[in-house]
Structure 1
Amino acid sequence: MPEGTYRAVGEPGGPEDAVDRGEGFGERLLGRLLDRAHETPPQLIAPLVAEEIRAIGGRDVSILLQDYAQLSLVPLLDGDLADGEPLPLEGSIAGRAFLSETVAEQRRDDGVRLFLPLLDGGDEIGVMALTMDSVDDGDRRWLRRLARLVAGMLVAKSPYTDHFLRTRRREPMSVPAEIQWSLLPPLSMATPEVAVAGILEPSYNVAGDSLDYALDDDVLHLLVIDAMGHGLNAAVLATVAVGAYRHARRAQAGLAELYAFMDTAIDAQFGPDHFVTAQMLRLNTGTGHLEWVNAGHPAPMLIRDHRVIGALEGPGTLPVGFGGAKPQINTRQLRRGDRVLAYTDGLVEEHTAGGTLFGEDRLVATIERVSPASATVRQMVRDLSHTLMRERGGITSDDATLFLIEWCGATAGHPTGWCG
């Protein structure tokens, strides 16, 4: 068979049945898949992708989704997709493709096994794997586009089914964690100007911690909260706080008005005995001007050239819900490439296995050890969270959340054209 053509699997072998992978082939494949996906039920999206890939000579198609703890890739078991066990992010070829956000190839006796990262707007979905007899640069180009389309399809269909969410679970999830995960935006985003990434621990039992963000024109809005208490009560309190924040933000309220609206909502609903600590930030993605209100929360860390410059200290404000406090707004001008790490106190107030308080100094030392090896904010926040967990001896008696922002500026960006 000539290079560049494949017969459809299971079809007769005549030349009229071969698929020409010449100019425009990838565009036709992607267009056909997009047309068919429009009315395809969520549970049939993955089998549809496998069918289209088999029709052009691919085989052993597998879609692996990142688990909630960001430790492994879990195979989606749908239709004719290839079976398999969860793969670790560290130490597997699929994990390498996911972490590096680049295509990985494995030469085998039966052809080439390709692992393609599934990315949607900077959000990491997982990896798609498939085997072909051979690949050239043209194939790699349309396969990368196919992976981006598949990632978008999975994101678009996810709200209509529980199947993708169930696949990502490696442990039973508590009701408070269920509530918190339903509140969250995608945990990562990247544009040429700015990138964000977050992670919550313990993934399957988080209750009072939450985060939120929105990018409106050249303003990035960010929120990190820690609701008092534990369990379901903390989750309900956090739900009201995030809902009030979003309501005021979407009404284009300034930081002072955001704080006041959240404060009033929590005070009116729960009374003065309940509160939420919060970091509310606004970043101008064109100028790097950062402003924030610190409502009883640990001060964010400013990271520059992989070193912690210091905490973003400034006048604080009472936690949200005490009623009537006047918010104090702090400002800082960022440099291109600066990263800002917001976190909850569960990271530093935890005790190690030996009973020693973990503390801010050890957090700083861990950041500076992890940062140089982390090319993206997604890698850094994941590596930092997992390293901190090991440093604490695997102990997480309170919620521990990290939220990392990188500012690249209006025209800088990374060599790839994307920040973070």
Structure 2
Amino acid sequence: MKKKFRISVLGLELIFGAVVFGAFMCVLNSYNGYREFKNELEVIYGTVTEQFAQTAATYVNSQKIDYWIENGADDEWYETNERLIDITEASELVYVYVTKVAPDYMSRTYVFDTVNHQEKNSKVIELGYVQSLEKKDDYYRGKLRDVLEYSDNYSMFSYKKGGGHVTSAVPLLDTTGKPCAIVSVVKPMHEIKEYKRRFLKSIIIWALILTTLFIALYALFLYLGIIRPILLVTYETSHLAEHHGELTGGLKKVRGHNEISTLAKSVEKMSDDLNRFIIDLTHATAEKERLGAELNVAKKIQAEMLPRVFPPYENHSEVELFASMEPAKEVGGDFYDFYMIDDDHFALVVGDVSGKGVPAALFMVITKTLLKDTAAHEFDPAKIFEHVNTILCESNESGLFVTCWMGILTISTGELKFANAGHNAPIIVQNGEIKYLKTKPNLMLAGMEGIPYTTHSIKVSKGDRLFIYTDGVTEATDAQNELYGEERLLKVMQTIDDKSPREVIGIVRDDINAFVKDAPQFDDITMLEMLYKGL
């Protein structure tokens, strides 16, 4: 198969990055080289100029500084001035001047001042001339202070278009060794301009040569070692995506032991794995569709096993009832049931099997059937639980168990006998009071063989309600993992007034939805409410 050769965007980006990096390094190295060159020149010029200043200081009689300022020039002054002029001309200096600085460093008095004859625009400052230093900055006055107080030499550089100059100052010491005046020398740096030009030209040329060579070698390395293998991997991965996991074999050309060769081998392995996965996925999808169809049937069967006709008995208007069960998965482990045992006894059951899914649903069917069959000849909820518990414990290898609440209402008298096998306490609405019907619960069914259960009894009157539910209600969680809780459920039940059981369950479900919002349902939610209307 003929391959298309395309421009590598990654290659262009890498080469462009190398060019930018090389240019940056060229500029940086040139700048650093120039800076070092400039520092070396300043050291050389500063040292030489300070030596000139020290030489000039040996020509001046420090003992007569104050005399010359007060009385003017004499023969010795003229002789010293001539010698300073000679050193100015011979050493190609611009100025040599000797000054006495005021104690407050705000002015200075000139003692000597020489000007090189080539400086046409400068005039000699006369002996005794007082120059103000008020316009000088603190740095400049500080340098003068360092010379006079600490005998420190200093050099200051000034750069301009023609090249610039350096000014060096040294102390003039009296007979006691203390500074009494300052000898300053100014030397031009005309030749520094040519030095800079030649140096910059040389360093830039060499930097460009080395940078170009580096970029060329780097680009060659990039193409052979990175860009070309990446192009092969890119082409093969595109071919793999377009041809259902098939490769052309071009990855065999990628050699070496670096990350790109590892990537090439990984793509080859991915192709093999992808082909196997497609085959497995095809079988798994077919199996999933089959299981999904079976689960839908199981869901329908489970729903049909729970009573769905409301009101349940047209000839027994003494009891109004409604119930609902919403599994967390396709099928669930929660269940409810109600049935007439005889003409005067009405049974209510709500249970919750541990776990979810198909195992819990099967265990629920067994438990529900056993409870109903046992209640056909037994009116005591505790004895019903004991009998069912014994049967469930006999072959419970899966370790499942059931929490269950069961009540048997004598319609004629309003007596309600009930037992609780580890289940949530239901809510009873009686005489205007809404509370949990709490008793000490017994162990859940199928938990342990031989467990005794207790039957409790209460009297219900006309208008009393009983709301039974599973823990999927109170343990419903929102996005912050906060529980719906028993307290919130009780507050909702306090708002039902004279609502029908169907409306009550709808109100509770709406409140649960408002609480959890978009959080997923983790447990089955089952609710049953009975309203006793009496005879």
For residues 194-220 of structure 1, give each alpha carbon's deviation from its aligned partner in whole angstroms, at most 9, with x where no partner exists.
111101124873410001111221111
5+ unaligned residues in a row in structure 1: which ranges?
Answer: 1-170, 411-420
**Residue 357 of structure 1 corresponds to which residue in structure 2?**
483
AA at the equivalent of 2:438: E
1:223 aligned residue:
349
In 2: Cα distance, 1:324 partner to 1:188 partner: 37
2:108 is matched with which residue?
A: none
Q: Note if contact 1:278-1:319 (Cα within 8 Å) is conserved in structure 2.
A: yes
CA distance in 2, matches of 1:250, 1:383: 34
Structure with a larger share of its residues in strand: 1
Report which structure shows greater RCO (CA 8 Å, sep ≥6).
Answer: 1
Instruction: Give how far 1:352 is off.
Output: 1.5
Q: Which runs of 5+ in 2 are unaligned?
A: 1-292
Q: Which moved more, 1:216-225 or 1:377-386?
A: 377-386
Cα root mean square deviation, aligned: 2.4
Asked if the contact 2:406–2:419 (Cα under 8 Å) also holds between the matched residues in 1, the reply is yes
Report if aligned partners of 1:271, 1:321 keep a CA contact under 8 Å in 2. Answer: no
Percent identity over the alignment is 26
What is the correspondence of 1:17-416 to structure 2 with a 5 Å cutoff?
174=296, 177-189=299-311, 191-202=316-327, 205-215=330-340, 216-271=342-397, 273-304=399-430, 309-322=434-447, 323-369=449-495, 371-372=496-497, 375-394=499-518, 395-410=520-535
**Partner amino acid, structure 1, of 2:511:** T
CA gap of 1:202–1:208, structure 2 versus 1, over 3 A, is closer
- Bigger Rg over Cα: 2
Q: Distance in 1 between matches of 2:358 and 2:466?
A: 30
- CA positional deviation for 1:379: 2.0
Structure 2 partner of 1:103: none
Which secondary structure state, in structure 2, belongs to the residue aligned with residue 386 of structure 1? helix
Three-state SS of the structure 1 residue aligned to 2:504 is: helix
C-alpha distance in structure 2 between counterparts of 1:269 and 1:184, whole Å: 25
Alpha-carbon displacement from aligned partner over 1:269-327 (angstroms, at most 9, x marks no partner)? 3148221000011111122111111000000101247x662111112111011221101
The one-character-per-residue Cα deviations of 1:77-120 (angstroms, maximum 9, x if unpaired) are xxxxxxxxxxxxxxxxxxxxxxxxxxxxxxxxxxxxxxxxxxxx
Deviation at 1:179, TM superposition (A): 4.0
Provide, for residues 141-195 of structure 1, a one-character-per-residue CA deviation record: whole Å limited to 9, x for no partner.
xxxxxxxxxxxxxxxxxxxxxxxxxxxxxx9974553342132122532632111
Runs of 4+ displaced beyond 4 Å: 171-176
Moved more, 256-265 or 397-406: 256-265
- Partner residue, 2:96: none
CA distance in 1, matches of 2:301, 2:360: 10
Shift in CA distance, 354/176, structure 1 to aligned 2, threshold 3 Å: farther
Structure 1 residue 397, shift from structure 2 partner: 1.0
- Aligned equivalents of 1:175, 1:390: Cα separation in 2: 31
Give the AA of the match of 2:435.
G
Instruction: Look up the SS of the partner of 1:210 in the other structure.
Output: strand
Contact 1:187 1:198 in 2 (8 A): no
Q: How many residues align?
A: 237
